[in-house]
């Protein structure tokens, strides 16, 4: 059974057209090409068109300063393309130092503004949401809950929170994206989160080119490597690999409203 990858960055210059074609010839049935700024959102839409796949468009928190009236207008125009099935990745990321000459509070304020503006866009056009949240869970949830989104329309991609947080998200109908980190020895959180919620609320994702699973850490990641992630989830849940693939493929189809 072929695997669907819900979160990829195949616009990365390390991927050649042949490389992507090979991925789709392998164990991968399809993928979502996720944007992280206006330029890369455009590239992701191009990749989705070229390979008959889907895309998400959005401005990542680290690129939040570029989220102004003009780029927002461009983004909503881009989102009208029929291959665009989600807004993302958007959210809050407090992991790194603020840009030169600005304070931590400045950075937070700019990120929150961009997150809220794009959340509003997703609401207006009725698309699901791919959330990136790093070291910023409380603020992310505070903003998200104000929008009172419908169940099964929001995913926390590359989820690294606790079982408690996963359970809390599940109560609000929010999914988690699980990828290579679940195979890491020190990633007890990921395994516990997977254990805590029903498989129906998990999306498979590589976040490639990043986060290659064990035993391939440090190499260029691709959707085919999800097989390692799936084995790990099957082990945690005590079910077969086929059950994981089938359920997670169904989850992706339901989340992105794929026909």
Interacting residue ranges for Zn ion, rule: CB under 5 A: 89, 132, 207
Of residues 152, 73, 87, 83, the one with CA closest to residue 119: 87
Min. distance of Cβ 108 from Zn ion in angstroms?
17
Min. distance of Cβ 191 from Zn ion in angstroms?
20
Rounded-to-integer distance, Cα 2 and Cα 224, Å: 9
Min. distance of Cβ 194 from Zn ion in angstroms?
18
Min. distance of Cβ 89 from Zn ion in angstroms?
5
Place of tokens 């085919």: 224
CB-closest chain residue to Zn ion: 132
Question: Which strands sit side by side in the sheet containing 54-57, from one edge to the other?
Answer: 3-8, 28-34, 54-57, 84-93, 129-134, 154-156, 175-178, 202-204
Looking at beta carbons only, is 130 or 236 nearer to Zn ion?
Answer: 130
Looking at beta carbons only, is 63 or 207 nearer to Zn ion?
Answer: 207
The string of DSSP letters for 74-101 reads HHHHHTTSTTEEEEEEEEEE-SSPPPTT
Looking at beta carbons only, is 36 or 117 nearer to Zn ion?
Answer: 36
Min. distance of Cβ 181 from Zn ion in angstroms?
12
Min. distance of Cβ 259 from Zn ion in angstroms?
25
Q: DSSP code of 85?
A: E
Looking at beta carbons only, is 83 or 237 nearer to Zn ion?
Answer: 83
- H or E segment and range at residue 134: strand 129-134
Rounded-to-integer distance, Cα 172 and Cα 99, Å: 33
Looking at beta carbons only, is 9 or 170 nearer to Zn ion?
Answer: 9
Looking at beta carbons only, is 56 or 70 nearer to Zn ion?
Answer: 56
HSE-up of 58 (CA within 13 Å, CB side)? Answer: 35
What are the residues facing 130 on neighbouring strands? 155
Q: DSSP code of 8?
A: E
């Amino acid at each position: 059974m072929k695997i669907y990858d819900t979160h990829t960055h195949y616009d990365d210059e390390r991927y050649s057209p042949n490389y992507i074609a090979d991925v789709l010839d392998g164990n991968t049935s399809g993928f979502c090409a996720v944007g992280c700024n206006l330029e890369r959102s455009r590239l992701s839409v191009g990749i989705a068109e070229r390979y008959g796949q889907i895309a998400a468009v959005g401005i990542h928190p680290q690129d939040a300063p570029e989220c102004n009236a003009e780029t927002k207008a461009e983004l909503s125009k881009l989102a009208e393309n029929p291959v665009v099935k989600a807004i993302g990745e958007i959210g809050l990321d407090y992991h790194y130092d603020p840009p030169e000459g600005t304070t931590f509070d400045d950075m937070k304020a700019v990120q929150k503004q961009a997150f809220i503006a794009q959340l509003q866009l997703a609401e207006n056009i009725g698309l699901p949401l791919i959330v990136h949240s790093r070291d910023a869970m409380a603020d992310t949830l505070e903003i998200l809950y104000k929008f009172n989104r419908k169940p099964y329309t929001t995913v926390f991609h590359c989820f690294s929170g606790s079982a408690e947080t996963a359970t809390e998200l599940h109560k609000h109908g929010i999914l988690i994206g699980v990828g290579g980190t679940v195979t890491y020895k020190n990633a007890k959180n990921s395994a516990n989160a997977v254990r805590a919620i029903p498989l129906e609320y998990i999306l498979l994702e590589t976040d490639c080119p990043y986060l290659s699973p064990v035993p391939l850490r440090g190499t260029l990641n691709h959707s085919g490597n999800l097989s390692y992630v799936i084995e790990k989830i099957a082990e945690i849940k005590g079910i077969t690999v086929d059950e994981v693939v089938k359920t997670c493929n169904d989850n992706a189809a339901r989340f992105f409203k794929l026909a």
